[in-house]
Amino acid sequence: MKDLFYLLVIALLLTGYSLKSQNVYDKINDEFMNNSQGYGLLEKMTKEIGHRYTGSPNGIKAEEFCYNYFKQIGLDDVYHDEFIFDGWERGSLSFKILSGKDTLGIKAYSYANVTEFADVSAKLIDLDNGLEDDFKKNAKKIKGNIVLLNYGAYSFDNKKKNIDIRQKALLAVKYRAKGVVFIDDRQNGAIYTGRVAGRNNILPIPAIAISIGEGLHIRQLMKEKSIVSGIINMTNVIGIFPARNVIGVIKGTDYPDEYILIGAHLDSWDVSTGAMDNGIGAATVLDLANGLKKLDLKPKRSIMFVEYMGEEVGLLGSSHLVKRLDSLGMLNNIKCVMNLDISANLKGWNVFSDTLCSYVDSVGKLFLKYDDDSTYKNINDIYIGCASDHQPFFVEGIHSIRPNRISDGWACYHSDCDLFYWVNKKSMINSARYTAMMLYSLANIETFPPKMTSEKTKELVLKLDIKQYLKGWGHWKWGD
């Protein structure tokens, strides 16, 4: 009944909202079409900083870059939100295979959160897709050897479902393998890096990734030779590291203690400049702060701009911020969270909230006026993905939105080819202008729908079939 009430309130508000806001949307559209700073800021970050791995010297430079920029454009409050974490830093890695009398060096990347040291030489066992059945069938062969398996799962019927690489890595430990080698399935030869263990956990064996070409070559050798062995030598650094979220605020006029939070993760993996993941999101947040501050639109609610650190290594920054806001009695004042992760050229919005989705759908129709040759079509869904910085917020019942996007560069996701080359300036401008319109709209809803109850949040999580993902992240709050 409450949801119906808020849907009616939203409908009534929109009847008088359209003409008044259209003029503001014109201003927003003109500002970002003509003066958007995001593309240039991203180019500057990638050239002057490089990668932005959390806890590294480069990560510290990125934090300072954003802090100084927020200060420079004159946001009302600018501050660091520091946290300490158990971290992992990439060291050296050598992967070779022995085939008969031949020794071949293979380019590989270590996954994060794996053992500090490894010096392993053992037979390679091909487990195809590395599903639990593949491990069970080869249990006796696996013990004491190195398993070779697909990152994806593409050689069986569609009735079987792939499992997460973390689950595959844990199966390798369970069946007492000495190491695990993942074959990336991208046709461009990219090699994936990422975590294979949960936050604050370290996989006790080496886990590495190689390209599809190298993987096919090794498999061909295994067919031709009776024994092919692998040698993995690895060193990494495990320790305690500091990191900082960077926060800036535009104060609201009517409800200054209520916030619409818009954020993006600033950190990247250390094998590239992370231009797509998530340089475009981080630079767009800076661009939005600059454009909206310059327009001086005086939103009714405060807008909080956040550059998160630690997303790639376990949603650390956003999880810390949720706890900090809760300890300050401010968490209930966060009315909505918008998250930009690899977000460019959006076509609409994914919304974790049925009541708010109705509003987003209605107000989004007003943006269609500006859809010249962009992809924006106001395609909206009650949906939200996991494994990004909105997750710690939506499990608390906070309305969450992220762009329903079309992004270039997925072929280089978490790889050494995630470079500025792939970034499309027009796509970034489209992301900025439509996001700015929606951000302004949310900040000016007269009566914001209340935070979802725990039961309502659970109901939506189950409806979206993301329970297992949340359990894997330690964010499932409702027992078994």
422 and 298 share a domain?
A: yes
How confident is the model at residue 197, as a pLDDT?
74
Let me know if residue 439 belongs to a domain. Answer: yes
How confident is the model at residue 164, as a pLDDT?
84
Q: Are strands 255-265 and 334-339 parallel, antiparallel or unpaired?
A: parallel
Give me the number of domains the chain comprises: 2
Write the CB contacts of 40 (distance below 8 Å, at least 6 apart in sequence).
none
CATH number at residue 232: 3.50.30.30
286 and 155 share a domain?
A: no
Residue ranges of the chain with per-residue pLDDT less than 50 = 8, 12, 15-16, 156
How confident is the model at residue 156, as a pLDDT?
46
Q: Hey, what are 318's tokens?
A: 């956003």
Cα angle at 279 between 410 and 414, to 5 degrees?
A: 40
How confident is the model at residue 170, as a pLDDT?
94
How confident is the model at residue 20, as a pLDDT?
62
User: Which of 211, 239, 267 is the endpoint of a domain?
Assistant: 239
Kindly report, residue by residue over 148-158, the tens digit of the pLDDT.
999 986 554 55
Let me know if residue 480 belongs to a domain. Answer: no
Let me know if residue 169 belongs to a domain. Answer: yes
Let me know if residue 5 belongs to a domain. Answer: no
How confident is the model at residue 15, as a pLDDT?
46
How confident is the model at residue 380, as a pLDDT?
95
Under 8 Å between Cβ of 87 and 200? no
311 and 360 share a domain?
A: yes
At 431, give phi and psi (nearest 5°): -60, -45
184 and 118 share a domain?
A: yes
Under 8 Å between Cβ of 355 and 400? no
269 and 409 share a domain?
A: yes
User: Which of 239, 271, 293 is the endpoint of a domain?
Assistant: 239
Q: Hey, what are 417's tokens?
A: 């080819």
CATH number at residue 395: 3.40.630.10
How confident is the model at residue 413, as a pLDDT?
92
Under 8 Å between Cβ of 299 and 253? yes
Q: pTM (2 decimals)?
A: 0.93
- Which range marks the domain in which residue 109 is found? 90-239
Q: Residue 193's closest CA among 208, 206, 204? A: 208
Let me know if residue 140 belongs to a domain. Answer: yes
How confident is the model at residue 255, as a pLDDT?
98
Let me know if residue 430 belongs to a domain. Answer: yes
Kindly report, residue by residue over 435-475, the tens digit of the pLDDT.
999 999 999 999 999 999 999 999 999 999 999 889 878 89
How confident is the model at residue 82, as a pLDDT?
98
Let me know if residue 8 belongs to a domain. Answer: no
How confident is the model at residue 294, as a pLDDT?
98
Q: Which helix (H) or strand (E) holds 310?
A: none
415 and 268 share a domain?
A: yes
- Helices 2-35, 354-364: crossing angle, 10 deg rounding: 40
197 and 298 share a domain?
A: no
Let me know if residue 84 belongs to a domain. Answer: no
